[in-house]
Amino acid sequence: MKLFSINIVLCKIDEQFRKVCLCLLGVDGVGKSTVVKAIANDNISEVLPTNGFSLCKVNYKTVKIVFYDLGGDERIRAIWSNYYSEVYGVIFVLDGADNTHIEDNRELLSEVLSNTDLSLKPLLLLINKKDRGGCLDEIQLTDKMGLHDLAEQYSAQIRVECCSAVRGTGKNIDKSILDGLDWLLDRILENYSNLSKRVLEAQERLKIRQQEDRMERIQRITGNSFKSVTEEEKSKFAKKLVNGYKQCNTKTMNGHALKPKKNLPGRIIPRSKFLKPRVMPLHGEGSPRSRRSASDPELNRGFQSDPSVLQERILEFGLFLYYPDYED
């Protein structure tokens, strides 16, 4: 009975302190980084443009928030979608005092909402810079951007708040920012189980895709070694590698290779730019076990004389080739 009570308490604690990833989107210069700093109670007097990606962790009430502050430069926008699968919700920021780019912002927002990785994930739209003259309010911007139509078209949950991110931090922060953030987190926590499942599944797909890309890179390095391997076999092998990561954490060895999971043969393949990589023993060069492993005919048989054998041994033993920072 006592153990049962402890489990209930632990479950409640786990529910109270949930981790939520949010991404901030918007063109450059609209105040995304200032919004994050205001929420984090950080210094907002000196904010530099975000070149690419900035990460900020904030404990807010009972939620651990990880903010992905993505740069708004046109070149950076092309990689926004790489982060969509990892987030639970979106904060879209625009300059309410700039009435010349309403249509551009609408097209950008429509592109964001149309991404399947963001479907059914809530979106908070912040109209920043209300401290400046000519700033549109919530009703005006909703009409001009046709937000009702976008919400209906993509079955999206959207809330609009007009704010001034430079107003202050802590007790001086614009209340509209916190009101919008509270709404966003409430929508996320209402559907937290489903969103978490989607995020985890997306991360698994990403890992498998990365492994498949790595195998393609190995194919380029080793010449014809993988030509006879079908796409289905590559995918299965990639899944095998990903599942291996769940069983045992990898360990960097001298900055050149990774230690495979424990139930695989104790071998590593070092960083190399040769067309015929060779298997090296995991243990020290002078150890007896290393010398026995290096002479193991079952593992090293034919690697140097016939590159096609490499493919067979990889699929048979699950050996992991690793070429860090290799450039074609």
Tell me whether residue 259 is annotated as binding: no
Tell me whether residue 251 is annotated as binding: no
DSSP for 268-319, please give it. EB----SSS---EESS-TTSHHHHHHHT-HHHHTTTTT-HHHHHHHHHHH--
Residue type, 110: S
Supply φ then ψ for residue 99, to 5 degrees. -90, 0
Tell me whether residue 30 is annotated as binding: yes
Tell me whether residue 131 is annotated as binding: yes
Tell me whether residue 128 is annotated as binding: yes
Tell me whether residue 146 is annotated as binding: no
Tell me whether residue 27 is annotated as binding: yes
Tell me whether residue 52 is annotated as binding: no
CA distance linking residue 308 with residue 322, whole number of Å: 18
CA distance linking residue 162 with residue 129, whole number of Å: 8
Tell me whether residue 32 is annotated as binding: yes
- Give the dihedral sign, CA 257/259/264/268: positive
Tell me whether residue 129 is annotated as binding: yes
Smallest CA-to-CA distance from 73 within 101, 46, 53, 102 is with: 53
Helical spans, DSSP H, in the chain: 2-16, 32-39, 74-77, 102-113, 138-145, 147-153, 175-190, 192-222, 231-247, 288-294, 297-300, 307-317
- How large is the greatest C-alpha to C-alpha distance in the chain, in angstroms? 78
Tell me whether residue 37 is annotated as binding: no
Reading the block at residue 16, the tokens are 């109270």
Reading the block at residue 212, the tokens are 């498949």
Where is the binding site, in residues? 26-33, 50, 72, 128-131
In the annotated binding site for GTP, the residues are 26-33, 72, 128-131
The annotation places the binding site for Mg(2+) at 33, 50
